[in-house]
Amino acid sequence: MLPEISPATADALRTAFDRVDYRTDGVRALLGREAHAALGRGEPEPAFRATADGGALGVLVRLLLLGAVEPDAAVAAALAPLTPADAAAAGLLRRVDGGWAAALDLRPHGDDDGGGWWVLSDLSDFPARRQERDHVTGVGGASLTLASATPRTPVGTVLDLGTGCGVQALHASRHARAVTATDVAPRALAMARATFALNGLDVELLDGPWLAPVAGRRFDLIVSNPPFVPGPARVDYVYRDSGQAGDDALAALVGALPEHLEPGGVAQLLGSWLHVRGEDWPDRVRSWLPAGVNAWIVQREVTDPALHVGTWQRDAGLDLHSPTARAQAGAWLDWLAAQKVEAVGFGFLTLRRTDEAPTVVVEDLPEEITDPLGPEVAAWLDRVVWLRAHAADDALLGATLRLADGIVLERYATAGDEGWTDAGAAVARAEGPRWRHEVDEPAAALLAGCRGDAPLNELVELLAFAHDRPADAIVTAALPAVRELVRHGLLVP
Residues that bind ligand SAM (CB under 6 A): 137, 143, 146, 161-164, 167-168, 182-185, 188, 209-210, 225-227, 238-239, 242
Closest CB 177 distance from ligand SAM, rounded Å: 20
Cβ at position 228, least distance to ligand SAM in Å: 7
Q: Which is nearer to ligand SAM, 31 or 267 (CB)?
A: 267
The CA-to-CA distance between both ends of the chain, in Å, stands at 56
Q: What are phi and psi of 433, to 5 degrees?
A: -65, 130
| CB of 324 vs ligand SAM, minimal distance in Å | 22
164 near 136, Cβ under 8 Å?
yes
Q: How far apart are CA 205 and CA 189, in angstroms?
A: 7
Residue 204 C-beta: closest distance to ligand SAM, Å:
15
- The per-residue b/e assignment along 345-354, b for 16 or more CB within 10 angstroms, e otherwise, is bbbbbbbbbb
Kindly state the helix (H) or strand (E) to which residue 188 belongs, with its residue range: helix 186-198
Name the residue nearer to ligand SAM (CB basis): 206 or 399: 206
480's enclosing H/E stretch is helix 471-487
Distance CA 464, CA 471 (A): 5
Q: Tell me whether residue 89 or residue 252 sits nearer to ligand SAM (CB atom).
A: 252
Give min distance, CB of 105 to ligand SAM, in A: 12
Nearer to ligand SAM, 50 or 222 (CB): 222
Q: In this complex, which beta carbon is closest to ligand SAM, that of residue 38 or of residue 214?
A: 214
Q: Pick from 228, 302, 233: which is nearest to 270 by CA?
A: 228
* Least distance in angstroms from the C-beta of 362 to ligand SAM: 23
Backbone angles phi, psi at 53, to 5 degrees: -110, 30
Instruction: Looking at 117-272, list the stretches that DSSP marks H as alpha helix, in order from N- to C-terminal side.
Output: 127-130, 141-149, 167-173, 186-198, 248-256
The angle, 0 to 180 degrees and rounded to 10, between the axes of the packed helices 441-449 and 471-487 is 70
Please state the closest distance from residue 300 (CB atom) to ligand SAM, in A: 16
**Residue number with CB closer to ligand SAM (162 or 305):** 162
Q: Which is nearer to ligand SAM, 58 or 226 (CB)?
A: 226
Q: What are phi and psi of 178, to 5 degrees?
A: -140, 135
